[in-house]
Amino acid sequence: MTELPTNTDKWIEVDLDAIGHNLREIRRIMQPGTRLMAVVKANAYGLGAVPVAGELVRLGVDLLGVTFLREALQLRYNGIDEDIMVFSPLLPQEYPTAIDHNIIVSVGSAMDLSLVEKAAAEAGKRARVHIKIDTGLGRFGLEPDEAEPVIRDADASELIDLEGIYTHFAAGVEDAYTVKQFNRFHSLLDSLEKQGISIPLRHCCSSSSFLRHPHMHLDMVRLGTVLYGQFPAGKVMPGVNLRECFRFKARIAAVRYFKRGSYLGYYRTYRLPHDSRVAVIPVGLVDGFGVEAVPKPADVIDLIKMGIKLLASYFNLNRTALTATINGRPVYIRGKVFMQFCLAEIPPGLEVSPGDEVELPVKRTLASLAVPRSYLREGRSRTDDNDMQPGLEPGFGGITGESM
Could you read off the pLDDT of 305-323 as tens digits, one per residue?
A: 666 666 766 666 655 679 9
Q: State how beta strands 357-360 and 246-251 pair.
A: antiparallel
Q: For position 328, what pLDDT does the model report?
A: 93
Instruction: Give the tens place of pLDDT for each residue, 337-352.
Output: 999 999 999 999 999 9
pLDDT tens for each residue of 137-152: 999 999 999 999 999 9
Band of residue 8 on the pLDDT scale cut at 50, 70, 90: confident
Q: Give the residue range(s) of CATH 3.20.20.10 domains in the chain.
A: 16-240
Run of H or E including 388:
helix 385-388
The pLDDT tens digits for 90-115 are 999 999 999 999 999 999 999 999 99
What pLDDT does 402 receive? 32
Residue 261 banded pLDDT, cuts 50, 70, 90: very high
d(CA 350, CA 374): 28
The question of whether 266 is a catalytic residue gets the answer yes
Please identify which of the residues 41, 95, 166, 270 carries the catalytic annotation: 41
DSSP one-letter code for 192? H
- Model pTM score: 0.87
Q: What pLDDT is recorded for position 293?
A: 65
Percent of the chain with pLDDT over 70: 85
pLDDT at 386: 38
Rounded mean pLDDT of 286-301? Answer: 78
The reply to whether 41 belongs to the active site is yes
Residue 65 has pLDDT above 60, yes or no: yes
pLDDT of 390 reads: 36
What's domain 247-360's architecture? Beta Barrel (2.40)
The whole-number pLDDT of residue 232 equals 84
Whether the CB-CB separation of 229 and 247 falls below 8 Å is answered with: no
CA–CA dist 296, 309 (Å, integer)? 15
Measure the CA–CA gap between 73 and 171, rounded to whole angstroms.
28
Select 16-240's CATH number: 3.30.565.10, 3.20.20.10, 3.40.47.10, 3.30.1330.10.
Answer: 3.20.20.10
User: Active-site residue among 235, 257, 266, 305?
Assistant: 266
Sheet (strand 276-281) strand order: 254-258, 276-281, 342-346, 329-334, 323-326, 357-360, 246-251, 10-15, 373-377, 380-381
185, 143 in Cβ contact below 8 A?
Answer: no
Phi and psi angles of residue 263, each rounded to the nearest 5 degrees, phi first: -95, 150
Amino acid sitting at position 215: H
Residues of the chain with CATH 2.40.37.10: 247-360
DSSP characters for 110-176?
A: HHHHHHHHHHHHHHTSPEEEEEEE-SSS-SSSB-HHHHHHHHHHHHH-TTEEEEEEEE---TTS-HH
Segment 72-99 shows an average pLDDT of 97
Q: Compute the average pLDDT of residues 364-378.
A: 92
pLDDT band at 400 (very low <50, low <70, confident <90, very high): very low
